[in-house]
Structure 1
Amino acid sequence: MRQWQGKGVLFDLDGTLVDTAGDLHAVLNQLLVQYQRPAVSLEQIIPIGSDGIYPLLDLAFEAPLSAENKQRLRAEFIAIYQQNPPRHSRLFSGIEEVLAAFNEHHIPWGIVTNKPTKLTLPLFAKYQVLKTAKTLVCGDTLGFKKPHPAPMHHARAALNIDQGNNILYVGDAKRDIDAGIRADMHTAIAAWGYIHATVNIQDWGAGHILRAPTELLQLTI
């Protein structure tokens, strides 16, 4: 694998660092019980696990929802999520090893996610290694979310790394790669994440496609 000569690494969260599909599945089905609707399977959740709450609601409620109903259901989903600490989420295999190696080699790293802060912090409470991130940019940190490049620029400034193609951004969704490219960052696809089997990730234009987290060590150290 060709080594990337850079100064820092940024990650997406859901589907890249942490497998959160199990908790999203549990929360969504708890919400469906309240509305006497049939449960959805974990297999249905996984391909859209990185896409936020609204796609989960579209999947679960099937019929077109008004903007008002979507906002109400989103608020109810978040309330259930906050009442239930993450029990089913787990770090993807190899992630803890990679982050520990970055810390050991003084490679600054951080997280840029579209997940709201109040849903992100419980994961930090569960996994101590996430607390060693040099920056955390959530979906509500700024007025913009990925694929807009503003969160990426904000994270770059927090890492105190000059402008230029010297940061690697790793994510499992096209919007991650788009945001990284728009921010003039090097990009890598986390192919272990929530990517539907029918999606051709070759078309995303990323610099690298990584099949396992530990491939990052070959690329960066």
Structure 2
Amino acid sequence: MSGAVIRAVLFDLDGTLIDSAPDLGAAADKMRTDRGLASYPLERYRFMAGAGARGMLGVAFGITPDSPEFPELREEFFKAYENRMLLNTQVFDGVPALIDAIRARGLAWGVVTNKSARFTVPLTRAIPLFGSAGAIVSGDSTPFSKPHPEPLYEAARRLEVPADACIYVGDDERDIIAGRAAGMRTIAATYGYMGPQADATLWNADAAISSPLELLKFLDPA
């Protein structure tokens, strides 16, 4: 990758830094079982975990955001998730070592997620890893969410780093769209929640990684 010298690394949250699928899926599945419906296995939810309420309710009930019942079910889902969002959520293997290596290189780092601050704030406060993050931008921190570039610009402003000196890492196409629109170099994290139909080679990211520590080869001068 070419361009300005890298000064910061920004990450998506769910599916990139943390595996929150067990708690997201369990929240949606409880809604099913509360209605007398059969429970689904976690793997049925996992590939849609990056899509939040839209993805979880789509799996659980086969509805879309256009469905008239969606707003009410979404709030029920939010409450169910809020009650358990730290029970089984884990940082992906390799991520703590990656963050240590980023900091050892003198680089800033932060998070840009579409998850609302209602969840992002308590979650990141509860996980020690995020204590060293220089910026945590939620889906409602700015008037826009990804794939709009504004949340990425906001993170760069908070880090006091030019956007073109940042790398953005995410596991969804909208992450790559947002990063490219912000003038950042982009990395597709294929170890996240990409389903069997997803093809990161179509996203036009600058590169892809299949494990967190693979990112390091893009942070050192050639």
TM-score range, shorter chain: over 0.9
Q: Distance in 2 between matches of 1:99 and 1:108?
A: 10
Return the offset for 1:173. 0.2
Q: Is the contact made by 1:3 and 1:219 (CA closer than 8 Å) also made in structure 2?
A: no
Partner residue of 1:175? 174
Deviations 1:80-114 (A, max 9, x none): 22222411111111000011122233210100000
* Aligned counterpart, 1:41: 41
Distance of 2:211 and 2:144 partners within structure 1: 29
TM-score (norm 1): 0.92
Aligned counterpart, 2:83? 83
Residues 100 and 129 in structure 1, CA contact (< 8 A), matched pair in contact too: no
Pair 1:111–1:31, CA change in 2 (3 A):
same
In the alignment of these two chains, the number of paired residues is 219
Equivalent residue runs for 1:89-168 within 5 Å:
89-163=89-163, 165-168=164-167
Root-mean-square deviation over aligned CA pairs: 1.8
Deviations 1:161-196 (A, max 9, x none): 124x22100000000000000011000001110001
- Residue 33 of structure 1 deviates from its aligned partner by 2.1
Structure 2 CA distance for partners of 1:99 and 1:28, relative to 1, 3 Å: same
Asked whether the equivalents of residues 3 and 218 of structure 1 are also in contact (C-alpha less than 8 Å), the reply is no
User: Corresponding residue for 1:184?
Assistant: 183
Assess, with a 3 A threshold, how the Cα gap between structure 1 residues 39 and 160 changes in structure 2: closer, same or farther: same
* Structure 1: gaps (5+ residues): none
Please give the alpha-carbon distance, in whole angstroms, between the structure 1 residues aligned to 2:113 and 2:2: 25
**CA shift digits 1:141-171 (9 cap, x unpaired):** 11111001111111111111124x2210000
Question: How far apart, in 1, do the equivalents of 2:211 and 2:58 lie?
Answer: 30
Give the AA of the match of 2:61.
F
SS in 1 for 2:144: coil
The residue type equivalent to 1:176 in the other structure is D
- Structure 1's 8 and 81: CA in aligned 2 closer, same or farther, altered over 3 A? same
* Separation of aligned partners in 1, 2:2 and 2:211: 16
State the partner residue of 2:198. Answer: 199
